[in-house]
Amino acid sequence: MSDEIAHDFSPLIKVYKDGRVHRLLGTATVPASIDPQTGVQSKDVVISTAPPISTRLYIPKSTLTESAESTRKLPVLVYFHGGGFCIESAFSPTYHNYLNSLVSEANVVAVSVNYRMAPEHPLQAAYEDSWAALKWVESRFTGTGPEEWLNRHADLNWVFFSGDSAGANIAHQMGLRVGSEKLVGFKLNGIVLVHPYFWGEEPIGGELALAESHRKMLAALWRFSYPLTSGSDDPFFNPGKDPKLGELGCEKVLVCVAEKDSLKDRGWYYSEVLKKSGWNGVVEVLEANEEQHVFHLFYPTCDNAVAMLKKIVSFMN
């Protein structure tokens, strides 16, 4: 075994020259359950074994108190977890806890996608897996599929995508693909991008004030996750360079940014280029003062996290 390091993205991940991958964060998992705080129920469903794609489904407490004859359907949230395309999962305590609170507050059915990760499965594996998960959700639109929770509770005319960081990047890409490929029986109403992992060759806004090493790290992590990329102006990484941006397949977008997040200006920039792209929807930005990247996952009860959750809930309702 060689202890020589090929890639060091501490505190996320290290890869050794002999090929060993050491994830420093995001490896813990928790089982699906009935959450004692919120009454939200979850379960895991395998979508595909080759490639391995699975989801964790969530239904709010309100569905458990309805009669068997009740036909009231709920909005559907498809969630893509963050972690730089290389750590975390739909089954981690961080995301499980967040989805429990979001599902409870918004009274929605959630599908949290577990996609393959770099470096073992470089991009575009995460995009393809996420699209396969959306096709799986779409195939339930007749209400006669094998997944009872979606048949009984999901209104596929009322769908939202969301994700944080790399997951927000995926949510945006899935929104573009819905716009260009159209899913039958599936209406994407809106997308919530939380601290999206976008970048570009030319620094914008306050990015020039960031340490050069940090700017290089953000670009290098992208290249690590997507070795075949054209670079930081790849349309998958810099939506401002995407000629198809105006095809985004929804009517409204909420972008959440944090004042002390080095990706903040990219979130604002995304909202500006989206407005100019020919897309005819409405985009708004919510900025949390004094906060860092994905603060809401680590401090879910702080005032700014509570305010952000309320904003996302009102956006979906």
> Is the preceding peptide bond at 124 cis, omega within 30 degrees of 0?
yes
Whole-angstrom distance, CA of residue 283 vs CA of residue 253: 5
Whole-angstrom distance, CA of residue 90 vs CA of residue 44: 10
In a domain, 103, yes or no: yes
Q: Given the structure tokens 């906060």, which residue do they identify?
A: 291
Residues in the chain: 317
Whole-angstrom distance, CA of residue 167 vs CA of residue 164: 5
Whole-angstrom distance, CA of residue 267 vs CA of residue 245: 15
| Domains identified in the chain, total number | 1
- In this prediction, residues 279-295 reach a mean pLDDT of 97
Structural tokens at position 200: 């570009």
In a domain, 7, yes or no: no
Whole-angstrom distance, CA of residue 81 vs CA of residue 48: 18
CATH of the domain at 287: 3.40.50.1820
Q: Which of 35, 234, 242, 261 is catalytic?
A: 261
Whether the Cβ atoms of residue 82 and residue 166 lie closer than 8 Å to each other: yes
Q: Given the structure tokens 């070795």, which residue do they identify?
A: 227
| pLDDT range class, residue 11, cuts 50, 70, 90 | very high
How many C-beta atoms surround the C-beta of residue 248 within 10 A? 26
In the chain, beta strands by DSSP E: 5-9, 13-16, 21-23, 41-49, 52-59, 74-80, 109-114, 154-164, 188-194, 252-258, 282-288
- Residue range of the domain that includes 191: 29-195+243-316
What's the pLDDT tens digit per position in 50-85? 999 999 999 999 987 766 556 689 999 999 999 999
| pLDDT range class, residue 90, cuts 50, 70, 90 | very high
Q: What is the pLDDT of residue 144?
A: 75
What's the pLDDT tens digit per position in 216-260? 999 999 999 999 999 999 999 999 999 999 999 999 999 999 999
In a domain, 221, yes or no: no
On average, the pLDDT of the chain sits at 95
Name the 3-class secondary structure at 253. strand
Q: What is the pLDDT of residue 169?
A: 98
In a domain, 215, yes or no: no
Q: What is the pLDDT of residue 129?
A: 98
Q: What is the pLDDT of residue 69?
A: 56
Q: Which of 96, 195, 293, 296 is catalytic?
A: 293
How many C-beta atoms surround the C-beta of residue 84 within 10 A? 23
What sections of 84-243 are H helices per DSSP?
A: 93-106, 125-138, 148-153, 166-181, 212-225
In a domain, 10, yes or no: no
Whole-angstrom distance, CA of residue 85 vs CA of residue 221: 9
Q: What percent of the chain has a predicted confidence (pLDDT) above 70?
A: 98
Whole-angstrom distance, CA of residue 35 vs CA of residue 51: 30
CA-closest candidate to residue 126, choices 172, 80, 191: 80
Could you give the dihedral angle defined by the CA atoms of residues 11, 16, 19 and 22, in that order, rounded to the nearest 10 degrees? -30
In a domain, 23, yes or no: no
Name the 3-class secondary structure at 298. helix
Structural tokens at position 202: 């030319």
Name the 3-class secondary structure at 245. helix
In a domain, 131, yes or no: yes
What's the pLDDT tens digit per position in 128-156? 999 999 999 998 887 777 889 999 999 99
Whether the Cβ atoms of residue 225 and residue 85 lie closer than 8 Å to each other: yes
Q: Any catalytic annotation for residue 42?
A: no
Between 3 and 231, name the one with better pLDDT. Answer: 231
Name the 3-class secondary structure at 216. helix
Whether the Cβ atoms of residue 247 and residue 182 lie closer than 8 Å to each other: no
Q: Which of 130, 165, 225, 262 is catalytic?
A: 165
Structural tokens at position 91: 């089954």
Whether the Cβ atoms of residue 254 and residue 311 lie closer than 8 Å to each other: yes
In a domain, 83, yes or no: yes
Q: What is the pLDDT of residue 184?
A: 84
- Answer whether residue 127 shows pLDDT above 60: yes
Q: Any catalytic annotation for residue 293?
A: yes
